[in-house]
Each structure stands twice: as structure tokens, then as C-alpha cells.
Amino acid sequence: MRLLRGTETRYLKVGGANTLFIDGAHTRRLQELPSYYPRYMQGLSDAHQRGLDILRRFSDLRWTYVTPAYKFAPLGEYTGKYHVRGEEYRPGEDDDPMDYISYADYAKAMVDIIERHQLRARTDHAGQRTQPDPQQPW
């Protein structure tokens, strides 16, 4: 990151949904909900959080941390539809993890963020609120 300081280089990071806040006060994260992130996933989740914490220290860089939806589907179809929100996630009814995006739609969101020059010390959540592809392995 130090090499990028003071340059026009833009840094785009694929994040982890665990880093999203689940409350308006920004004190609780999605990682804290066991229905989303069971114990065996906590180490990886902690690593994502540490990476974001390090990135936040570099306010003089052009960076964006883009978090895919909780269900990030490699086999999902391209629809061209997605939403980009800030760093708050709203779980569904009964903590049902319905947030979904295909790899193809996530890639489209990333390209759009780059082309719109929305790269300045921020975290975004890219997803859809649609029924996941029934052929996905979850």
C-alpha cells in the first residue's frame, strides 16, 4: 500500500461480507451471526476484517473495498442487475441469508465502480435481493 501513496493508481479490493455492519450504529458485524458465519469460518472472517482495518489507515489512497453478497454464486447467470450500498447489511427474516449475486453481476458492479471513478476510501456491498439460482450448491 505504501507504494501507491501519492499516486493516481486506484486500488479495488474484493472483500468479505463478514465485514458488513448489521446495525446503524456500526458496532455489530455480519460475522457475529452464527447462521451466517459458524465457528469454523471465524479465522477467515478475522483475516478479512484485519485487511480492511489496515486499508482504512491509508486515507491518502484511492481505494474501494467491494463486498459481494453473502451468497456469491460462481454458477449464477449474468443479469446486469445489482445494487451497490454502503457498508450496512440487513439480514432477511429470521436471519435468512437471501442476499445473492452471481460472479458475472459482481464483475459488472466492479467495472461500473471503476468507470464511474467511485474509488475513494469507501466500502460498498454489491448484491441482489432475488431468489438464488436453484442450481447453486447451497
Query: For the chain, which domains are there?
Result: 2-127 (3.40.50.720)
Phi first, then psi: what are they for 49, rounded to 5°? -65, -40
8 A C-beta contact, residue 32 and residue 45: no
User: E strands, 17-93, where?
Assistant: 62-68, 71-73, 83-85
pTM score of the predicted model: 0.79
CA distance 102 to 136: 10
CA distance 41 to 47: 10
In this structure, the number of other CB atoms found within 10 A of the CB of residue 78 comes to 11
CA distance 138 to 136: 6
- What is the average pLDDT across 115-119? 74
Q: Which residue has the cell 491509508?
A: 58
Task: Report whether pLDDT(1) > 60.
Answer: yes
Choose between 83 and 125: higher pLDDT. 83
Task: Report whether pLDDT(33) > 80.
Answer: yes
> Which residues, other chains included, contact 132 with Cβ-Cβ below 8 Å and sequence gap of 6+?
71, 73, 76, 98, 100, 138
Q: What are 51-98's pLDDT values in tens digits?
A: 999 988 888 888 888 888 888 889 888 988 888 888 888 766 655 556
8 A C-beta contact, residue 70 and residue 20: no
Beta bridge partners of 67: 125
